[in-house]
């Protein structure tokens, strides 16, 4: 994993350096704002106590900077955030099912948070009329944070009045593939739809009586939303 992170650091640095270098000699920059509905997929949405994250559909917001480098090819860098609420009803049900002495549990949970920085390339092509499309791939870093959770259980006999699970953080590699469709409103402004798939595999360490336990919590989501893009 460390080798992957180092390589990604080099690639992102080269792309951002190229973008900065091009800004000195050329124009035609594109800045896009991408609000989207973020749909969790796979284990990220699964209702499994030890492998799933119980994530619900949430929100993502991305700011992207893009510049053409050769014909239809462009380099791009983006930064964004994603928030997903936890399905505490499903989490509580699974928790009770896995504890024979627990009758019920009340859970309060923060949202699952991710902050990411990616860089990559895209290819633009024409569709019908004034419509154009762009397909791209990016890679970068994901800062993922598990939610703080407070549990108030009711046991069949005796047990603690409450217990908590503290938040954990991790940096991991993240990859994305996306396609967007644009329509020009005028020479300086475009609007469109964006479809983006993101995948990462953060690992969170917890100190226990038996040592450090590492929990793998894959993050996979599909971001579907609008794009407002400006040229300058």
When the pLDDT of each residue in the chain is averaged and rounded to a whole number, the result is 87
pLDDT, mean of residues 98-105? 90
pLDDT computed for residue 17 by the predictor:
59
213 or 231: whose pLDDT is higher? 231
- pLDDT of 67 reads 86
Note the pLDDT of residue 195: 97
The predicted model gives 178-198 an average pLDDT of 94
Written in H, E and C, the secondary structure of the chain is: CHHHHHHHHHHHHHHHHHHHHHHHHCCCCEEEEEEEEEEECHHHCCCCCCCCCCECCEEEEEEEEEEEEECCEEEEEEEEEEEECECHHHHHHHHHHCCCCEEEEEEEECCEEEEEEEEEEEEEEECCCCCEEEEEEEEEEEEEECCCEEEEEEECCCCCCCEEECCCEEEEEEEEEEEEEEEEEECCEEEEEEEEEEEECCEEEEEECCEEEEEECCEEEEEEEEEEEEEC
The residue ranking higher by pLDDT, 14 or 33, is 33
The yes-or-no verdict on residue 3 having pLDDT over 70 is no
What are the domain boundaries of the chain? Answer: 2-231
pLDDT at 187: 83
pLDDT at 27 over 90: no
Residue 79 CA to residue 142 CA, distance in Å, equals: 10
From 18-27, 101-110, 146-155, 166-175, the region with the lowest mean pLDDT: 18-27
Model pLDDT for residues 116-175, shown as the tens digit of each residue: 999 999 999 999 989 999 999 999 999 999 999 999 999 988 888 888 988 889 999 999
Candidate CATH numbers 3.40.640.10, 2.60.40.10, 3.40.50.670, 2.40.160.20; the one for domain 2-231: 2.40.160.20
Higher-scoring residue by pLDDT: 143, 3: 143
What value does the mean pLDDT take over residues 163-190?
Answer: 92
Q: What is the pLDDT of residue 205?
A: 74
Q: Is 61 exposed, middle or buried (0-12, 13-18, 19+ CB in 10 A)?
A: middle
Other CB atoms within 10 A of residue 229 CB: 22
């Amino acid at each position: 994993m460390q080798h992957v992170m180092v390589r990604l650091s080099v690639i992102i640095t080269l792309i951002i350096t190229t973008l900065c270098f091009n800004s000195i000699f050329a124009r035609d920059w594109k800045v896009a704002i991408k609000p989207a509905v973020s749909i969790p997929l796979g284990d990220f949405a699964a209702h499994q106590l030890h492998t799933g994250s119980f994530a619900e559909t949430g929100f993502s917001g991305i700011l992207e900077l893009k510049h053409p480098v050769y014909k239809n090819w462009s380099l791009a860098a983006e930064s964004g955030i994603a928030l997903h609420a936890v399905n505490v009803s499903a989490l509580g049900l699974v928790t009770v099912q896995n504890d024979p002495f627990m009758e019920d549990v009340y859970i309060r949970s923060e949202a699952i948070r991710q902050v990411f920085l990616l860089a990559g390339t895209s290819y633009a092509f024409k569709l019908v009329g004034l419509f154009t499309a762009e397909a791209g791939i990016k890679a970068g870093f994901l800062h993922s944070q598990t939610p703080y959770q407070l549990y108030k259980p009711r046991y069949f006999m005796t047990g603690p009045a409450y217990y908590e699970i503290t938040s954990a953080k991790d940096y991991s590699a993240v990859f994305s593939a996306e396609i967007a469709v644009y329509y020009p409103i005028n020479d300086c402004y475009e609007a469109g739809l964006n479809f983006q798939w993101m995948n990462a595999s953060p690992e969170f360490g917890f100190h226990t009586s038996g040592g450090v336990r590492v929990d793998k919590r894959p993050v996979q989501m599909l971001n579907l939303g609008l794009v407002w893009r400006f040229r300058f």
